[in-house]
Chains A and B, each alone.
Chain A
Amino acid sequence: MKRRTTTRRSSLLVALVATGSLVLSACGGGGDGGSTDGEGGTAAAGGGDASEVQVMTWWAQGSEKAGLEALVEVFNEQHPDTEFVNAALAGGAGSQAKQKLQADLQAGNPPDSFQAHAGAELQDYIDAGQIEDVSALYDEFGLTDVFPDTLMERLTNDGKIYSIPSNIHRSNVVWVNPAVLEEVGIDPSTPPADLDAWMADMQKVADAGKTPVSLGMDWTQTQLLENVLLAELGAEGYNGLWNGDTDWAGGEVNSALTKFGKIVEWSNEDRDGLDWEPALQKVMAGDAAYNVMGDWAVAAYDAQEMTAPDDYAYWPVPGTDGVFNFLADSFTMPVGAAHPGGTKAWLDTISSAEGQLAFNKVKGSIPARTDIEASEFPAYQQSAMEDFSSDTIVSSLAHGAAAPVAVLTAVNQAVVKFSQGASDVDTLQSELVSATEPLAG
């Protein structure tokens, strides 16, 4: 087996990317985060064209769009000389946006900044040399002290940080239709003590001829799975899944998968054709009792002017009380961005107290900064902020915080295969073992 470059065109590509990586190594070469000026004065420290900033997000509709608009308002105040260009793309939990982004990044035509989930999801971009190390900006903006340590840990990759978070979401939340539960004699205000108690309630709902749980397409199923795993293994055991301390082939995982299978059986049959909102809609409309969804669901309730506790109830997934299953939206500085000055201005705004307050109030998420008064926020966010500061934090798999995209894709495929009835629990488990193999290496 001899080594060779793939093709003529790839070598062209190599040359192209090499010029890009020169910039990177110039920044990195300044000495382990100590580069404050000098060579750092290139992209990473944010010199350069600040006339505009083109930002790609998947916040194109509903509360997400409104949140972005609120953020842009702050941006225009803070950086009046930089024009904000909205490159938002709707669809499929960001899958459309990610496709377009992949193409643009490869073509060496990146936006000035793009939205990405903080954590392992960034690995591909880092490997491909497509995003800059922005550690220097953390010092410049004074972010190191205002972001909680648990968050900083998850942002850091080999001593470098490649994105700046704008907000934090929680994935282990159950959204409940109180009317459906009352109909079958379950008290919606007190959450079941653990997963088994919750499943007993589901059984009751099922016996009454209603759908206990609504589910949607692949990633929503993976999100349910990760929370079942979290409930069964506990925070420590769950974290071990990502660093090799917990055996994916073990008995505990097996029993969690069995329970997951039972819950899937109870769910709506048209799940694979539904994105998260139509799935949640089933709970809103009273066709199903529960839906496990990240806390962006609160915005969907707001949009329909439904309020807790009359129209809906929410609690942490039973068995995961005291744990905050975390994901964060964050922004990057792509290598070769046309307006690095604009990028810097944008990153400044999204990380500022003012920007995070304006944005998260509307979007339904909580700020990444710890120095913002909780009282400024609506009820749900207040409770989430409290939990975030006191709970154990774990990383969500379904949203790219826990594992790289390739692992997540393989897990999604195994989960859908299982939920469509093409594999049993043991097969699912063995497929998850091989899907997560890259994590060990």
Chain B
Amino acid sequence: MTSVTAEPRTEEVLAPRPASPRPRRAGWRTFRYAVLILSLLVVLIPVYVLFVTSFKGMGDATPARTWFFPRTWTLENWVEAWTALSPALLRTFAMVIPAAVISSLLGSMNGFVLSRWRFPHANLVFTLILFGMFIPYQAVMIPLVQLMIDLGVPNGIPSLILLHVVYGIPICTLIFRNYYETVPMELIESARVDGAGLLRTYFSVVLPISIPSFVVVLLWQFTSAWNDFLFAIFFSSASNGPVTMALNNLANGAMLSNYGVSMAGALIASLPTLLVYILLGRYFVGGLMAGSVKG
């Protein structure tokens, strides 16, 4: 299995195997728990810091008290961070939703054609599209900057929607193609025999069964566009860009080093993607497993 070609059926694959008939030594089990719990604690250290610091008042933030609970829990940092970030949060939604919808529609059409309505050299074309997923965007950035200027696409959200749609095509195509490969050929053949053309087959047969993949792709696009910083820094600023820009400005700006506000801001900026992960984790993992790439 390579993750590029095969989208594992995540839910099944990650499901625990039935218990082995052979009983294992107790020492081994203790060891496994020790590893898992220790790792758990280490992974959660940053979360603890984020959480605790975000509720600390100014005087509480001295080096000596960094690892302790706040003396008094205050919401000030949260209020300040919310005031600073909420316009950017709205803009990010306005950017991410259209970007995710358009690119997954395009990806679905591409995936269908490349897996079930092939044309000569479809395989080569697919590989060429896939390469677009891996390129460092630095290699196209300077022409992009100039293109946006020449086309007059306004700096900020409009530019970013366009970019997320275009550079989202490869991953969306990949996930849908792999999904459609698993759709029984007979379904499509029978539609073809009925005389249905490409579009009718796509809309009446393929689209309705694509819902699970759409969820995966939409979530994936949502998350990666939400978390993007590279395009944001080249094509927007803190005042008209997405929340990553606003957060970076809040945390690294010329303000007195009030870590509490930055930490609250980081939590606020991560909330939507974290919610997606917690509520729809299964699908989110599906996106990850499809060989998806962030950044």
- Is there a contact between chains A and B in the complex with CB atoms less than 8 Å apart? yes
Docked Cα-Cα span, A96 to B239, in Å, equals 9
A100 within 8 A of B: yes
Contact call B150/A13, Cβ cutoff below 8 A: yes
Cβ of B10 within 8 Å of any chain A Cβ, yes or no, is no
Residues of B within 8 A of A87 (CB): 239
**How far does the Cβ of B193 sit from chain A's closest Cβ, in whole Å?**
48
In the complex, residue of chain B having the shortest beta-carbon distance to the beta carbon of A87: B239
Given A9-B150, A10-B146, A13-B146, check contact A93 B254 (CB 8 Å). Answer: yes
Shortest Cβ gap from A267 to chain B (Å): 16
Judged by a CB distance under 8 angstroms, whether B23 is at the interface is no
A108 interface hit (Cβ, 8 Å): yes
* Among candidates A90, A99, A107, A281, residue contacting B253 with C-beta atoms closer than 8 Å: A90
| Chain A residues whose CB sits within 8 angstroms of the CB of B154 once the complex forms | 107, 109
The complex places the Cα of A104 from the Cα of B239 at a distance, in Å, of 13
Contact A91 B249 (CB under 8 A): yes
B147 at the interface (CB under 8 A from A): yes
8 Å CB contact of A278 from B149, B236, B238, B257: B257
**How many interface residues does B have (CB within 8 Å)?**
24
Decide if A107 touches B256 in the complex (CB within 8 Å). no
Given contacts A96-B249, A107-B155, A276-B254, contact A9 B146 (CB under 8 A): yes
Distance, CA A99 to CA B240, complexed state (A): 12
- Measured between beta carbons, the chain B residues less than 8 angstroms from A300 are 256
> Chain B binding site: helix, strand, loop or mixed by DSSP?
loop
Q: Which residues of B216-275 have CB atoms within 8 Å of chain A's CB atoms?
A: 233, 235-240, 249, 252-257
A277 within 8 A of B: yes
- Residues of chain A within 8 A (CB-CB) of B147 are 9
Query: Which residues of chain B have C-beta atoms less than 8 A from A281's C-beta?
Result: 256-257
B249 close to A278 (CB less than 8 A): no
The answer to whether A275 and B254 touch across the interface, beta carbons within 8 angstroms, is yes
CB-CB < 8 A to B36: which residues of A?
Answer: none
- What separation, in Å, do the CA atoms of A89 and B237 have in the docked complex? 9
A61 within 8 A of B: yes
Q: Are A89 and B238 in contact (CB under 8 A)?
A: yes
Given contacts A91-B249, A107-B155, contact A274 B238 (CB under 8 A): no
B141 at the A/B interface (Cβ < 8 Å)? no
> How far, in angstroms, from A343 to B61 measured CA to CA in the complex?
44
Residue of A nearest to B259 (CB): A278
B252 contact from A13, A16, A91, A108, Cβ within 8 A:
A91
Instruction: Write out the residue numbers on chain A whose beta carbons fall within 8 Å of the beta carbon of B149.
Output: 13, 106-108
Mask, B37-74, CB within 8 Å of A = 1, is: 00000000000000000000000000000000000000
Could you pull out 16 A-B pairs where Cβ atoms are within 8 angstroms?
A9-B146, A61-B255, A87-B239, A89-B237, A90-B253, A91-B249, A91-B252, A91-B253, A96-B237, A96-B249, A96-B253, A99-B233, A103-B145, A103-B237, A106-B149, A277-B257
9 closest A-B pairs by beta carbon, nearest first, are: A100-B237, A278-B257, A91-B253, A91-B249, A275-B254, A107-B149, A103-B155, A9-B146, A12-B150
Contacts A10-B146, A91-B238, A106-B145 known; 7 new A-B pairs at CB < 8 A: A90-B253, A97-B237, A100-B238, A100-B239, A109-B155, A275-B253, A277-B254
